[in-house]
Amino acid sequence: MHISAPFIQRRIATSLLSIAVLLAGAVAFYFLPVAALPRVDFPTIFVRTSLPGASPETMASSVATPLERQFGRIAGVTQMTSTSQLGATGITLQFDLDRDINAASRDVQAAINAAAGQLPSGLPSLPTYRRVNPAETDILDLAVLSDTLPRGRLYDLCDSFLAQKIAQVDGVGLVRISGGAKPAVRVDLNPKH
């Protein structure tokens, strides 16, 4: 007796079973998630360093290069990109998919500590790092303008009030303020008086 014998003998039950499987497949087809870019969490860490007033060339040569040398020694790094701009450097490290992000974070912290002696003495603080997901890009850009407030005051309001409120919204990962003018105190001394 063949395995197909009961299906041949009960043709109506077999037809109904086939139709049920076909309908279940058609209904399930509409519930399948579809994404042009599938959600894959790459273990990625972003390292940021600032040196106020330094040119992009200085940031690249004296800050990014020593860090990149140390990060290059970390096991499992598949991609490293760095960007230097006026007063800041950002380095993105992407690891193997099977690499534990917590272990990678510890390795990055150890590399930052190892590079601390080679970094310029004027750094306000050691480089900071955070875990990022490259699939999550910026979703909102706001431009704030004022005809009555000076740029320094406007920047201060955005930094102290607006950014704090946006950061408290559920699901917000990072709020970044750029442009404008940071408030600063300038002192002119006259040594003759």
pTM: 0.57
Block residue for tokens 């990072």:
174
- CA pair distance 116, 128, nearest whole angstrom: 12
Q: Are 136 and 126 in contact (CB under 8 A)?
A: no
Amino acid at 101: I
* Measured CA distances, 113 to 23, 44, 94 (Å): 61, 19, 19
What's phi and psi for 105, nearest 5 deg? -65, -40
Exposed, middle or buried by CB within 10 Å (0-12, 13-18, 19+), for 52?
Answer: exposed
Structure tokens at 55: 């040119």
Amino acid at 146: S
98-121 pLDDT tens trace: 888 888 899 999 999 998 888 888
25-70 tens-digit pLDDT: 999 998 888 777 666 778 899 999 988 888 888 888 888 999 999 9
Residue closest to 72 by CA, chosen among 91, 98, 53, 100:
91
pLDDT digit string (tens) for 64-100?
A: 999 999 999 998 899 999 998 888 899 999 999 888 8
- Which residue pairs from 5-14 have beta carbons closer than 8 angstroms and sit at least 24 positions apart in sequence? none
